[in-house]
Chains A and B, each alone.
Chain A
Amino acid sequence: MSTLSSGARAGLYIHVPFCVAKCPYCDFSSYSGIEALYAPYVEALLQHIASAGPEWPGPGFDTLYVGGGTPTVLSADRLADVLSACKSGLGLPHDAEITCEANPGMVTGASLAILAESGFNRLSLGAQSLDSGVLRTLGRIHDPEAVYGAFRAAREAGFANIGLDLMYGIPWQTLEVWRDTLHRAVSLDPEHLSLYALTLEEGTPMAESVWSGVLPEPDEDHVADMYALAQAVLADAGYVQYEVSNWARRCAGDTPGAPPRLASRHNLHYWHNDRYLGIGSAAHSFDGRSRFARCTDPKEYVRRVHNGESTREFCEQIDESLEMDETLMLGLRLMSGVTWARFQERFSIDLRSVYPQALAGLSAAGMIEVDAEGVRMAPGAYLIGNRVFAEFLR
């Protein structure tokens, strides 16, 4: 068995599977129109959190991420209750990174103040775009004004760490519109930016519209141009790209060759292949030995928690060789890559002796950089990362 580095802590994730309306491109586990389930669901979360401690073999948590869905469909008080349950039931420390996902237009100064006061210290705002046309194409219920309003209100409520999510590669979205959104976004001066390319998922209305020709299919070259544009605009504006889709504002204490201080520490747990515990329907966990998911149906989740039954639905044992592969698949998404030392410490073996062919082939192709510290993707390969990651899957 591998040893996760002794200093490594774990992440805690709580899933809120509700949205006001389902976005046409979304295949996340979220449902609209089941308001009646909000209260029992929160009850179940609280009960599950209170009892989860003993079955968690992993180290203590240093991040909490409340995501969805749209957590902010729940009242700020309920979210505050969930957070305090995590502190009391799972020993989440006060100085942990505590993030709540929020949708613009659904938060008010008052609700944000409650969140901040209860201990949430990071807000991830699902802006998606700052162009009203693009937001309409995406079927989002908010407009750009709502994003500015929510952002200002969050600052006023005391959030010093705010991330914005933006999407590109959307039908009809031009480079100009994208550039404009990027400029508007950086002018808000968020600490963090996540840029996601629209992914057409089978079964979603958006994919059907594109495949049936109602919406134009975003062209791969165009999407690549948007990515390159974002890299340039954000670098100019003082943001450091630390993962394929993530940027953080540069700040004084940053160490070269390591993720910036304002990086999402919770997401870093995923990319470092650390352990994490997911609570709530459809939430995923990794306890160091296996990955497992909770049942996806929120109602069923509530029922099982209520009856004291297990909520696990899917479980995959991760043997050491698979764990190594996943460590690279995930770690190479980070610009800092995977260091020889970290790999050696975790698996007691030299990475170079495990993947000699992948390393040789990819560096010959100019897709990775290998030096005294470790291995990382070559900047030109970020957008074709799958070709790199796949080489490490044995």
Chain B
Amino acid sequence: MSNNLEFVRNFCIIAHIDHGKSTLSDRLLEDTGTIASRDMAEQVLDRMELEREKGITIKAKAVRMLYSPAEGGRTYTLNLIDTPGHVDFGYEVSHALSACEGALLVVDATQGIEAQTLANLYLAMEHDLDIIPVLNKLDLPSADPEGVSAEIEELLGVSPGDILRVSAKDGTGVDALLTAIVEQIRPPVGDSDEPLRALVFDSHYDSYKGVVAYVRVVDGSIAGEAPLQIMSTGRKVEPLELGIFGPDLRPVESLSAGDVGYVATGLKNVRDCRVGDTLTGWQRAATEPLAGFDPPKPMVYAGLYPVENDDYEDLRDALEKLQLNDASLVYEPESSVALNLGFRCGFLGLLHMEIVQERLEREYELDLLATAPSVEYEVELTSGDTISVDNPAELPDMSYISEIREPWMQISLFAPKDYIGPLMELATSHRGGFDKMEFLDASRVVLYFDIPLSEILVNFHDQLKSCSRGYASMDYRFTGYRAGDLVKMTILVNEEPVDALSVIVHRESAYAKGSLLVRRLKDVIPPHLFPVPIQAAVGGKVLARATVKVVRKDVLAKCYGGDVTRKRKLLEKQKEGRRRLKKVGKVELPQEAFMTVLRLND
């Protein structure tokens, strides 16, 4: 495809979650006739079943639209790159931005600026994008366009007249928005005669076409099946197909500077063509690659184990396949005394972990057990060596340790000022240190805290929502490792330590957490034929204990007469239920036992 760059616009939409990004994308697709209204499934870009269900966008996706303004008669090619709104997927946003010259900053007029509005806006500014501020949900009676405009003016230094007002729901203002996209976002620059340089900003895996790389062509052009090479590895690629996003993959003959499209590489391994790589020509190669991306670093680690030991190989295959579409997922084999063979997986955040687990269970029909998520600790040994530990069970004995360092974050909490008190309390009760407060406008503030990642890993987000009646939003960024008075708490079930239940906790909260944990475990472990003691210990000293009661009655003590089949079915069902328990020594542990650690911060 060869075109006059003057008539191309590459842009994305950035917004806090639920501010209407997907809905607005749908309207743009509809208004430009890219998808006929009658074919319009809601939120066309949210293709994955899970995305629709959770109402969030997980991966960036792209679509090409053709737009002819009423006057002028020229047709513009608009490439819209959809971006995820959740912090866990911030790295995906960054990739998408690299393929664009402009961004629509969508703000819900009933909510105002929130954590990811800002986080994404800063990313867009770093990429030097032309930003069009858009107020959405004007149709709602609770919309406060004046107030929210004031917040945006303050933030961007624009005049109120430059802020567009739309309703993505009913389509009001979308025409004006299309005009603004053409007028305010600069066309891409690039030289089609230079050697090819195309940035891979996303990819997916297709069993026929191999890795399908989503590219933004910066210089030169890709034509037909002429061989390409991946600059980081020098690997040769013989493209099977080139195309654009319509939004379905639509083959074209060529892609040239300024275009956004895809290249079906035929490569069977995503590692051979990573997001952030530069594609160049095989015959005529560029000398310098484009600036790539740092691979995202996992923030959270957890063990994933098949409930049925026999499913281990299937889990391995599933992880491998999933990784083809989700390069941010890392994993390696791990074994646990309690849970046998599984994988230690690294995730970008808890939502990412939840999504991966759900996809494995749903798309690959696996029954999984996840251990409590952990951060990665830096452990300095008395020998002088430093090791990193992302599985509490693997923490060496304290006598070999001189220092444990944990990851700290800066979090920013956005909320109406009425909630300053509860938010302060929430953060400080999680070892957070108050840093500063800024006013967004007369009624809304941003609070900054330094806080250990482990403290905000689980439940923090829920607590944040509940102590602010849903008004607060949060963003976080990693600031560095700091030493802490941390200890390993071992859980013994029937006198035996269960590695998968170990946790690293702050010494001060060890007693409280230990008591809570044993009480919770006592409630979820079913009665056995013998008493099952549960203990929480730190350094060999038992801090808390509880005992699971003995099963006393488990028999059919009813008259079933001749209905022997029913009797047997009842027994078989019971037996099947017990088969799903994990046997640790003589004790049978249900899945919930491993999840209790998750709820420790409640």
- CB pair A196 B559 closer than 8 Å: yes
Nearest CB in chain A: distance from B532 CB, A: 14
Nearest CB in chain B: distance from A204 CB, A: 12
Please encode chain A, from 363 to 391, with 1 for each CB lying within 8 Å of some chain B CB and 0 for all others: 00101000000000000001111110110
- CB pair A326 B568 closer than 8 Å: yes
The CB with the most chain A CB atoms within 10 A, among B553, B556, B558, is that of B553
A224 on interface, CB distance cutoff 8 Å: yes
CB closest chain-A residue, reference B560:
A270
Residues of B within 8 A of A47 (CB): none
For A393, give its contact among B555, B557, B564, B568 (CB under 8 Å): B568
Please, how many angstroms separate the alpha-carbon atoms of A326 and B560 in the complex?
A: 14
Please, how many angstroms separate the alpha-carbon atoms of A286 and B566 in the complex?
A: 13
CB closest chain-A residue, reference B563:
A284
- CB pair B553 A223 closer than 8 Å: yes
Answer whether A194 and B559 are a contact pair too, CB < 8 Å, given A291-B565, A365-B529, A390-B571: yes
A245 on interface, CB distance cutoff 8 Å: yes
Chain A contributes a number of interface residues (CB within 8 A of B) equal to 42
Please, how many angstroms separate the alpha-carbon atoms of A278 and B561 in the complex?
A: 10
- CB pair A285 B562 closer than 8 Å: yes
Please, how many angstroms separate the alpha-carbon atoms of A278 and B115 in the complex?
A: 72
The CB with the most chain B CB atoms within 10 A, among A13, A196, A244, A386, is that of A386
- CB pair A387 B529 closer than 8 Å: yes
CB closest chain-A residue, reference B551:
A384
Please, how many angstroms separate the alpha-carbon atoms of A13 and B565 in the complex?
A: 17
- CB pair A286 B553 closer than 8 Å: no
Which A residues from 306 to 338 make CB contacts under 8 A with B? 314, 316, 325-326, 329-330
Answer whether A383 and B529 are a contact pair too, CB < 8 Å, given A13-B562, A270-B562, A390-B571: no
B438 on interface, CB distance cutoff 8 Å: no
Main secondary structure of the interface of B (DSSP, over half): loop
Interface size band for B: 20 to 34
- CB pair A278 B558 closer than 8 Å: no
Please, how many angstroms separate the alpha-carbon atoms of A383 and B554 in the complex?
A: 6
B54 on interface, CB distance cutoff 8 Å: no
B574 on interface, CB distance cutoff 8 Å: yes
Residues of A within 8 A of B563 (CB): 284, 293
- CB pair A326 B562 closer than 8 Å: no
Please, how many angstroms separate the alpha-carbon atoms of A151 and B108 in the complex?
A: 79
- CB pair B562 A278 closer than 8 Å: yes
Nearest CB in chain A: distance from B562 CB, A: 4
B469 on interface, CB distance cutoff 8 Å: no
- CB pair A199 B553 closer than 8 Å: no
B38 on interface, CB distance cutoff 8 Å: no
CB closest chain-B residue, reference A283:
B562
Residues of A within 8 A of B551 (CB): 220, 384, 387
- CB pair A384 B567 closer than 8 Å: no
Which A residues from 122 to 175 make CB contacts under 8 A with B? 165
- CB pair A284 B561 closer than 8 Å: yes
CB closest chain-B residue, reference A197:
B557
Which B residues from 536 to 572 make CB contacts under 8 A with A? 549, 551-559, 561-565, 567-568, 571-572
For A197, give its contact among B549, B558, B561, B568 (CB under 8 Å): B558
Nearest CB in chain B: distance from A390 CB, A: 4
Residues of B within 8 A of A384 (CB): 529, 551-555
A276 on interface, CB distance cutoff 8 Å: yes
For B561, give its contact among A270, A291, A365, A385 (CB under 8 Å): A270
Residues of B within 8 A of A390 (CB): 571-572, 574-575
A67 on interface, CB distance cutoff 8 Å: yes
- CB pair B562 A386 closer than 8 Å: no
For B555, give its contact among A314, A325, A383 (CB under 8 Å): A383
In addition to A220-B527, A245-B558, 11 A-B residue pairs with Cβ atoms within 8 Å of each other are A195-B557, A199-B557, A220-B552, A220-B553, A223-B553, A278-B562, A284-B565, A383-B554, A383-B555, A383-B557, A390-B572
| Shortest beta-carbon contacts, A-B, top 7 | A224-B552, A284-B562, A385-B555, A197-B557, A390-B575, A199-B558, A384-B554
- List the interface of chain A (C-beta within 8 A of B): 13, 67, 165, 194-197, 199, 220-221, 223-224, 227, 244-245, 270, 273, 276, 278, 283-286, 291, 293, 314, 316, 325-326, 329-330, 365, 367, 382-387, 389-390, 393
